[in-house]
Amino acid sequence: MRADAPSATRTLVLACLGALATALVVWLGLVTPFDHPTRTQVDNALLLLGLMGLAIPLLLARARMIPPGAAVRIALGGYAVLSAAAVAVADFGASRAVGWAIKAVVGVVLLLTLRELAVTRGR
């Protein structure tokens, strides 16, 4: 682990806060009807929070900046899974083929992220 890596407590708290924010947007995506005027904004938030929530754990793991301890890796893994769920809830309207392509790529990135989080334990 690098010397400038964040502390375990701070990483755990930030991962939990990110997961909570993503969970709230997923809930909003589930309760907002598809014909509601704000649905476009909700879908944009789902997509962006989902992609950021996948990128953060993946990049932290690849940069070897995850503090030791299983709790941080579990929290980051949960954050990644919830972020992938956010993208899965997003509606892409008339661009269904593009939506399914994005969701397929997110599924692959989720698997890579979880694998990377599991592997960083031994580094």
Query: pLDDT category, 94, cuts 50, 70, 90?
Result: confident
Based on the structure, what is the number of domains in the chain? 1
- Rounded to the nearest integer, the mean pLDDT of the chain is 88
84 vs 78: CA distance, rounded Å: 10
Domain limits for position 22: 8-122
Return all residues near 24 (Cβ < 8 A) that are at least 6 apart: none
pLDDT in tens, 33-51: 988 999 999 999 999 999 9
pLDDT in tens, 1-15: 455 556 888 888 989
Report pTM. 0.86
* Domain membership flag for residue 3: no
* Domain membership flag for residue 2: no
Report whether 16 contacts 74 (CB < 8 A).
no
* Domain membership flag for residue 1: no
